[in-house]
Structure 1
Amino acid sequence: MLKDFFSKKKKYASIPREEAKQDIPEGLMQKCPNCQKIFYRKELSKAQNVCPNCDFHHQLSAYERIEGLVEEGTFTEWDQGLLSDNPLQFPGYEEKVQKDREKTGLNEAVVTGKGSIEGVETALAVMDARFRMGSMGSVVGEKIARAIEQARKDNLPFIIFTASGGARMQEGVLSLMQMTKTSVAIKRFSEAGGLMISVMTHPTTGGVSASFASIGDYNFAEPGALIGFAGRRIIEQTIREELPEDFQTAEFLLKHGQLDQVIHRHDMKETLSTILDIHTTGGDEV
């Protein structure tokens, strides 16, 4: 009997590691890149993708962010059918865009529309870094500009969540033109008395940080978000100085007056709804 026990133990010990891994369904767990702790994905999802151990803010998809912000059943999406072209005939560009569509379920790197936040109808634009690193091409700029124009026509406040690696090089100058187009739309919106709130998430860089992301009436960011125009290494090589360790983080920008507030994701909805209430009802209910 003892002999049988040890023979069984030996048998189980010889199971290939690949077969043993199959006991845990793929995608069930996720490791935090900051503290290296492993959590169930459902646990992270309930915490709005904020690490329960170190408070690291993991990436959210555009629809996840919208779902956590607007009241259920109130969101109406705009311009979902707009698709990127390949105006410069850049090799492989169309194939890469198509792969991102299949991977993310999005047609482009931004979702726009309107929904109710604590009873206040609000226009929204939410960028998604999973699609071409959230890069700004002509369709991204067009969707944001149209959303701002619609907010102006409907007299709605406008909130944008940015997440971008910058302008999309495959579209050349057409991509860079979106900086001007979106900024002009915001100027018209502001002159009409519109309220714009910009929330910069990780990362917000390049032409996006240098245009619509930084010109809201309120400029906020999530903790630890990378925000800047040129990369750290390029700046250090240009000025020939070593930059602070926290350079281009949300906390660094707040300390130097470039942000109004760094807001934890768990406090985001309450903060935004308070601001909307102040500007729409005069804060009588605050």
Structure 2
Amino acid sequence: MTPPESPINPAAGPSHKSGAVVRRRERMPSSTADSRLLDEKGNGEWIHTDPWRVLRIQAEFVEGFGALAELGPAISVFGSARTRRASGDYSIGLETGRQLAEAGYAVITGGGPGAMEAVNAGACRAGGVSVGLGIELPFEQEMNDWVDISIHFRYFFARKTCFVKYAQGFIILPGGVGTLDELFEAFCLVQTHKITAFPIVLIGRLYWEGLIDWLRERMIADGMATEADLALLQVVDTPEEAVAIIVNAQADNTKLLAAERAALIDRIKAESAAAEIEPPQL
């Protein structure tokens, strides 16, 4: 009987290690990192490769986190860039920004025109801090003149992280696809408990009631979501109502944190007292 052939070891043969990555066979590079760096004939294509993009992404997070780390309490507000200055929605944006500033919150918007400009302007006029997080788009969108701190992003996900990380809640004005994107991003994060004590308030019942009805009559009816999920979205008609929800949510969260801290202190004291009277173990 002919003995079976020995299996071929796929790891046999030469290999090339670069940092944490090992390449073998046809995946081995024909040059080293040093030789490519020193190659006079190199072109600029390397700046479009994925490893370089990772550094750009890292830089966006570093710049965003650095600029906003000491911002203080803030609310991210979203709405359409197409909102006209003469419209009622623009006036609502102005009032929302003003009331948030007077309540002690900075406002964070996309920094563009329309509803974003209105919110930034309202906050700025009221003496509040006005932040704009811009994004690189095929069509130019200038940062509005009411922004105190502006950060320009290449990548949506880095920008979204800053919208969420430095805010205590979202207020959503009537808007389009981008506004819906931000709404459902936060909706999902709260529903999955990635963020907590994070109110999401939609202003404009007439505008949003169709979406809420669809969520209830289609998603919930088909078992794809629950009423508890839908309760995470609060719909109001005025900036006053929206800001009141934000303020009350923060007050409730502050009380909860204080109660948890007090309970922890009591437990530590009780455990310390018990340890002092506990007889020594023989």
Instruction: Indicate the TM-score class for this superposition, using the shorter chain for normalisation.
Output: 0.3 to 0.5
TM-score computed with the length of structure 1 as normaliser: 0.32
Higher helix share: 2
